[in-house]
């Protein structure tokens, strides 16, 4: 049995904490809000994000970061991407050195420095810090309910990857290990942008043909962008790339897809739709980072460009579609 701190009591953090506790680990779930932590403990469930899913024995909830980090073997970050660096600095105040086992299940970029999240850790704790990234085609609600799930634990340090695979491996939850940490992070972040695009397409009633085209061309864009980090093509064709892309683009449990659907159907602004959803829409933040990096490196990412214009309220959903369809004809290999 390992003692693990799960930092972040949103839907995804809570689901992972619940699964780890069911798997027999000693788990402390940290919520940044004392009120939220008290509500979860009192109701024995995260009513706000995972209503009806009871907490298993062995799962403790706290708003004290110091208490959460006491005598832990592993620390798992599951906070929003724009809070990642801030929470990491707070963790460093309580831990002089990185924990024996460190991982991130956050999907996104650090917006201020336009960094992948493992780069944030390296910058704070040193380039030799060992950590893993957990990602794949996963919805929090299904994980919390124990439905079959497969994901990857990626780290250039084989021991890190294996530790997290071992603690999560239980019943219907299967974890594959690999070493391409950057490729896994890019897949987990970029797919949210494409989910917004497919949500808009379906919200406008453009049909299954259009959705399939967006997913396949979105895959091309993802691989083109991932090449900036020397990501392995096999990674992008696996669970953390294609698997997560297909899931997020085709199922309404995806809040990024729902964001696109609502944007197309409601006539509301991106900010208004975000408020209606009431949870973090990571694709809204990721697209701004990708846009900046694409301009810096001269990358042609047309679907991303239209999502960026939508999110920043420069165009309407119908105009975004017209922009994509009016592009000049090209060979599929070069488009």
| Enzyme catalytic residues | 191
237: which 2 tokens?
């064709």
**Closest among 2, 11, 7, 49 to 30, alpha carbons compared:** 7
219: which 2 tokens?
């895959």
96-99 long-range contacts (CB < 8 A, ≥24 apart) are: 97/125, 98/125, 98/129, 98/130, 98/131, 99/69, 99/72, 99/73, 99/74, 99/75
Q: Is 126 left (phi over 0), alpha (psi -120 to 50) or beta?
A: left
Distance between alpha carbon 250 and the CA centroid of its chain, in Å? 16
Judge contact between 177 and 151, C-beta under 8 A.
no
């Amino acid at each position: 049995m390992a003692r693990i701190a799960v930092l972040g009591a949103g839907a995804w953090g809570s689901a992972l904490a619940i699964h780890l506790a069911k798997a027999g680990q000693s788990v402390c779930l940290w919520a940044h809000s004392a009120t939220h932590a008290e509500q979860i403990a009192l109701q024995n469930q995260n009513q706000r994000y995972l209503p009806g899913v009871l907490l298993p024995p062995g799962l403790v909830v706290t708003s004290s970061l110091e208490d959460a980090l006491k005598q832990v073997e592993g620390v798992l970050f599951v906070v929003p991407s724009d809070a990642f660096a801030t929470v990491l600095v707070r963790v460093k105040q309580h831990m002089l050195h990185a924990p024996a086992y460190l991982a991130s299940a956050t999907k996104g970029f650090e917006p201020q420095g336009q960094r992948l999240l493992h780069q944030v850790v390296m910058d704070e704790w040193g380039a030799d810090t060992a950590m893993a990234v957990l990602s794949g085609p996963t919805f929090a609600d299904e994980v919390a309910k124990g439905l079959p799930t497969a994901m990857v634990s990626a780290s250039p340090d084989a021991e890190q990857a294996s530790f997290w695979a071992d603690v999560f491996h239980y019943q219907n939850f299967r974890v594959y290990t690999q070493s391409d940490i950057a490729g896994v992070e890019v897949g987990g972040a970029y797919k949210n942008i494409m989910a917004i695009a497919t949500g808009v397409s379906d919200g406008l009633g453009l049909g299954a043909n259009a959705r399939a085209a967006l997913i396949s061309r979105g895959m091309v864009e993802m691989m083109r962008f991932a090449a900036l980090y020397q990501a392995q093509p096999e990674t992008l064709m696996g669970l953390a790339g294609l698997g997560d892309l297909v899931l997020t683009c085709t199922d309404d449990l995806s809040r990024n897809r729902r964001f696109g659907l609502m944007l197309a159907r409601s006539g509301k602004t991106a900010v208004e739709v975000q408020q209606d959803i009431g949870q973090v829409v990571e694709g809204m933040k990721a697209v701004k980072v990708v846009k900046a990096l694409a301009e810096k490196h001269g990358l042609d990412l047309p679907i991303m460009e239209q999502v960026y214009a939508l999110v920043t309220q420069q165009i309407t959903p119908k105009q975004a579609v017209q922009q994509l369809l009016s592009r000049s004809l090209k060979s599929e290999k070069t488009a």
